[in-house]
Amino acid sequence: MKEVKVEVIGPEPPCMRCQAAKKAVEKAAEKLKQAGIMVNIEKVNIMSKNVVQKYGVLISPAIAINDTVKVMGRVPNPEEVEKLLREAAK
Amino acid sequence: MDEKTKRAIRTGIILAFIFIVVGLLVYSRVMAYSFAPQLKQADLHGLPLWQIPIAYLIDYFSHGWICLLFAFTVAGLIYEFVPKEAITKYMGSSKALGYGLALVMAPFLTVCSCTMVPLFGGVLYAGAGIGPAITFLLMAPAANILTILLTGEMISWEVAGVRIIASATVALAAGIIISKTPWGKAVEKEHQIANAASASAKIEIVKPPLDERLLAALKFAGYLAKQILPFFLLGLIAVSYVSAFLPEDIVGAYLTGVAGILIASVLGGPLYTPTLVEVVLGKAMWDLGMSKGALLSWLMGQPYDVANALAVSRIAKWKVVLTYMFIAWIGSVIFGLLYGFLTGSL
């Protein structure tokens, strides 16, 4: 079984758009489970120093897949996330 | 139909919609059509109490809907298409560049208030330091795209322009001054992370196809409208009573001259709601006789609104927050006086 790590990066408490982004990731993860891809979703605080040290200045919501920021400042739809996750799992 | 044609058609439809929105605004300009409510105090005064907001709202929306539609659409488009990763990459790099980007880009990045405080933290942590972070924080609400468009269309483009210049000057001054204070330096030292700049290697933004981006832009415009309009409506109801009952001689007595600027600048902060109401309320009071100087001070009151300050105080110390609030307030008074004096409307 393949594993993909996803970080949904946004402020704490989460804003509406970050929650929407997380939902999109969750939906995509659900689908990929059937295809044998495990997606580990983590909600990370954009204001934490670890995140800034790792990625620099970000605009929320951001989505990092396997430690690379792929989406920033917008809410992607689940299909798009699914495609990105499939690529990452290859 | 194959995927490509479908996308092309979708792109075409959305672009057509955008052209219609822009076209409506241009057409209304050419026809010299005003977006502001037309009812005068005397018209409203004679109505029963419950009818006042209704009459005012009908009056407002029959004129203002083009302006609102345009403002939200443009805000959505700009937010989607502004090259975010290029900005964030350089915002952390050097001081001068940090200040410049904070000033130029803040209005475009923060139509949505939930991105502002995180960005403030990011700029502070990642290298550019407290100065540019403060400049960004003050510039963002003072000159966000929605507010500027509405100020320009409803009040006047002269006021909107002066407001941008004044806000930029004050934001820059506040950033530079705070970066020189001992307490500002302490916050910077506490939060700065060494060599965060190398992090940009880990960012590879994917761009979806054009039709999806356009659709996302319109969706974001809709999201903004959903967030702002309910409060905007409530605000308009309040404004309708102000327009109906606030006597002109009180406005004339208290919201003109040097005292008027002081009063307007003090009221502007606490009464500020990030919902565009301040623009409509400003317009209503201006119609009742508020001076241009006081109007500018009033509109510049936003940077020291309380909700924002609370959020920032969690990262920066209260001393920093109080310093920037004070500088912003002084700035709004100085520019109010200057503008009032120069235009002869003090």
How many angstroms separate the CA of residue A24 from the nearest CA in chain B?
A: 14
pLDDT band at B18 (very low <50, low <70, confident <90, very high): very high
Query: From CA B102, how far away is CA B168, in angstroms rounded?
Result: 10
| A41/B contact by beta carbon, under 8 A | no
| A79/B contact by beta carbon, under 8 A | no
| B96/A contact by beta carbon, under 8 A | no
Is B114 in Cβ contact with A11 (below 8 Å)? Answer: yes
pTM of the model: 0.84
| B148/A contact by beta carbon, under 8 A | no
Q: Where are the domains of chain B?
A: 3-343
pLDDT band at B296 (very low <50, low <70, confident <90, very high): very high
Residue A73's Cβ-side half-sphere holds a number of Cα atoms within 13 Å equal to 32
Predicted local confidence at residue B113, as pLDDT: 58
Is B220 in Cβ contact with A46 (below 8 Å)? Answer: no
Tokens 């609030």 belong to B325
Predicted local confidence at residue B334, as pLDDT: 94
| B85/A contact by beta carbon, under 8 A | yes
| B119/A contact by beta carbon, under 8 A | yes
CA nearest to B80 within chain A: A74
Predicted local confidence at residue B270, as pLDDT: 66
Query: From CA B103, how far away is CA B166, in angstroms rounded?
Result: 12
Top pLDDT among B264 and B195 is at B264
Q: Where are the domains of chain A?
A: 2-89
Centroid of chain to Cα B225: 14
Signed CA dihedral, B336, B341, B345, B346: sign only:
positive
Q: What is the mean pLDDT of the segment spanning B265-294?
A: 81
Is B197 in Cβ contact with A52 (below 8 Å)? Answer: no
Structure tokens at B171: 């934001």
Predicted local confidence at residue B92, as pLDDT: 65
Asked if pLDDT for residue B229 goes beyond 70, the answer is yes
Nearest residue to B308 via CA among B119, B132, B142, B116: B116
Residues in chain A with CB shorter than 8 Å from the CB of B208 are 76, 80
CATH superfamily of A2-89: Glutaredoxin (3.40.30.10)
Per-residue pLDDT tens digits for A51-82: 888 888 888 889 999 888 898 888 888 888 99
Asked if pLDDT for residue B172 goes beyond 90, the answer is yes
Asked if pLDDT for residue A12 goes beyond 90, the answer is no
Predicted local confidence at residue B90, as pLDDT: 75
Asked if pLDDT for residue B197 goes beyond 80, the answer is no
pLDDT band at A6 (very low <50, low <70, confident <90, very high): very high
Nearest residue to B246 via CA among B105, B54, B44: B44
User: What mean pLDDT is reported for chain B?
Assistant: 84
Asked if pLDDT for residue B251 goes beyond 80, the answer is yes
Residue from the list A10, A11, A56 with its beta carbon closest to the beta carbon of B196? A56
Asked if pLDDT for residue A38 goes beyond 80, the answer is yes
Asked if pLDDT for residue B198 goes beyond 70, the answer is no
Predicted local confidence at residue B275, as pLDDT: 64
Residue from the list B91, B203, B223 with its beta carbon closest to the beta carbon of A69? B203
User: What mean pLDDT is reported for chain A?
Assistant: 86
CA nearest to A19 within chain B: B114
Asked if pLDDT for residue B311 goes beyond 80, the answer is no
Query: From CA B190, how far away is CA B185, in angstroms rounded?
Result: 9
Query: Which of B84, B191, B198, B206 is the best substitution to test chain A (most A C-beta atoms within 10 A)?
Result: B206
pLDDT band at B271 (very low <50, low <70, confident <90, very high): low
ipTM above 0.90, yes or no: no
Is B191 in Cβ contact with A57 (below 8 Å)? Answer: no
Q: What is the mean pLDDT of the segment spanning A21-34?
A: 90
CB environment B261-274: b (16+ within 10 A), e (fewer): bbbbbbbbbeebbb
| A16/B contact by beta carbon, under 8 A | yes
Q: What is the mean pLDDT of the segment spanning B275-299?
A: 87
Question: What residue type is B134 in one-letter code?
Answer: I
Q: What is the mean pLDDT of the segment spanning B301-321?
A: 76
Signed CA dihedral, B84, B87, B90, B92: sign only:
negative
